[in-house]
């Protein structure tokens, strides 16, 4: 396995394997706000455990705002979904976090803090199409696949004033 890679969006700037998307508040259910897709010949391994905190899960830090500068409502929900080549639609591959009040109440520095990091973790699990939804060790995203971070909210994210990132310790990049 090669090196850490940065999965982030910061006031419009993005990491190499990240594309910012605009959610659709009027859609029934969640829509993607982040697309993670490695460069040709590479893959990303996203681990479900880091050496911080005590709970299983991948730490995701975010400060999401709408175009009025208001935080995305705390009753919004987020989860990861994976689209493997040949699939028509992505399938959910994490627990759904249905209360974002931790993110609304805390800045990214506080979210990253050792005492708070477990609240920022989202548990990766077997795809929703499998028989169980038990946690898994990691998810590999190949260059022909795409992983999405999906949001169900009543407001659209304005990326010019929002920030999102996956903890660097959870992500490794390798060659296929």
Q: Give me the residue spans of the domains in the chain.
A: 7-175
Residues in the chain: 176
Q: Taking the chain, what is the end-to-end CA distance rounded to the nearest angstrom? A: 10
CATH number of 7-175: 2.60.120.1180
The string of pLDDT tens digits covering residues 106-153 is 999 999 999 999 999 999 999 988 888 899 999 999 999 999 999 999
Say if residue 4's pLDDT is above 80.
no
Concatenate the DSSP letters of all residues of the chain into one string. Answer: ---B--EEEETTEE-TTEEE----TTSSS-EEEEEE-PPTTEEEEEES--SSSSS-SEEEEEE-B-TTSPBPPTT-EEEEEEE-TT-SS-EE-B--B---HHHHHS-HHHHHSTTTGGGGEE-BBS-TTSS---B-SEEEEETT-EEEEEEE-SS---GGG-EEEE-GGGEEEEE-
Global pTM reads: 0.95
Q: What percent of the chain has pLDDT over 90?
A: 90
Q: At residue 119, what are phi and psi to the nearest 5 degrees?
A: -70, -20
């Amino acid at each position: 396995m090669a090196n850490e890679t940065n999965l982030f969006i910061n006031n419009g700037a993005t990491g190499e394997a990240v594309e910012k998307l605009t959610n659709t508040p009027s859609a029934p259910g969640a829509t993607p706000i982040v697309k993670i897709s490695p460069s040709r010949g590479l893959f990303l391994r996203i681990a479900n455990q880091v050496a911080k905190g005590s709970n299983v899960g991948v730490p995701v830090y975010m400060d999401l705002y709408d175009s009025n500068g208001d935080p995305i409502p705390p009753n919004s929900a987020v989860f990861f979904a994976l689209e493997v080549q040949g699939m028509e639609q992505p399938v959910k591959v994490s627990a759904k976090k249905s209360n974002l009040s931790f993110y609304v109440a805390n800045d990214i520095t506080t979210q990253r803090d050792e005492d708070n990091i477990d609240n920022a973790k989202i548990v990766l699990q077997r795809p929703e199409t499998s028989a169980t939804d038990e946690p898994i060790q990691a998810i590999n995203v190949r260059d022909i696949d795409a992983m999405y971070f999906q949001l169900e909210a009543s407001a659209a994210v304005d990326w010019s004033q929002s920030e999102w990132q996956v903890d660097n310790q959870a992500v490794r990049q390798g060659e296929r």
